[in-house]
Amino acid sequence: MAEAYRHEWKHEINYADLLAICQRLRAVASPDPHAKDGRYFIRSLYFDTPSDKALREKIDGTDRREKFRIRYYDFDTSFIRLEKKSKRSGLGTKYGAPLTVQQAQAIIDGDLIWMMDSENPLIREFYCRSQNEGLRPKTLVDYTREPYYYGPGNVRVTFDYNIRTGLSCTDLFDPDCVTVPAPGSGIILEVKWDTFLPQIIRDCVQTPGRHVTAFSKYAQCRMYD
């Protein structure tokens, strides 16, 4: 199942920006009810082709691009998802399919035959793409997210920080997997909305001197390659 295509802004900000924007947001927006103490940990395992098609498309700024990942939160294996992120003309959407631990580990191990008969179209698509393009696990991406929600416009504002890469490690379920800070990564402010961004949120996230960026956690975490 896919989300609708949504508008998206990303800004690289500093710690002072984070404190100021959060103070303004707390007066008008709601924290994510799933977050513990206002934040949660995200671990994703990204997949790419032998020629790094997804990475190259991102670096080249290709207008239409996609990438696959498996993701879960706070090391809670009761909620694991296979996801495909799609970009088109600056808009983004996400497709998702639930996975069990056993299914996720099978994908990581290259045991994909079971995916052929899945009732979920995303799982079948991943199987076909893996067979045709050679999709394989590439790297872990870890970070902490602080999320906020504003109803009008279906606005979601998130702050991502402590971004770390597992380098060549693909052991998604090992909490002790060695990770290192992604080079050049600081705090990423991301704003997503449907058809309009309310002025009150525009005012909250104002960051003088900061510019919209095309920052990609996956691309940043591949810089050591």
| Side chain identity at residue 86, one-letter code | S
SS3 5: coil
DSSP 174: -
pLDDT of residue 35: 87
How confident is the model over 36-46, as pLDDT tens digits? Answer: 889 999 999 99
DSSP output for 184-224: T--EEEEEEESS---HHHHHHT--TT--B----HHHHHTTT
Q: What is the dihedral of CA 60, 136, 101, 158, to 10 degrees?
A: -10
Q: Can you tell me the mean pLDDT for 182-196?
A: 91
Mean pLDDT of the chain: 92
How confident is the model over 97-106, as pLDDT tens digits? Answer: 999 999 999 9
pLDDT of residue 169: 85
Structure pTM?
A: 0.93
* Range 7-221 has CATH code 3.20.100.30: yes
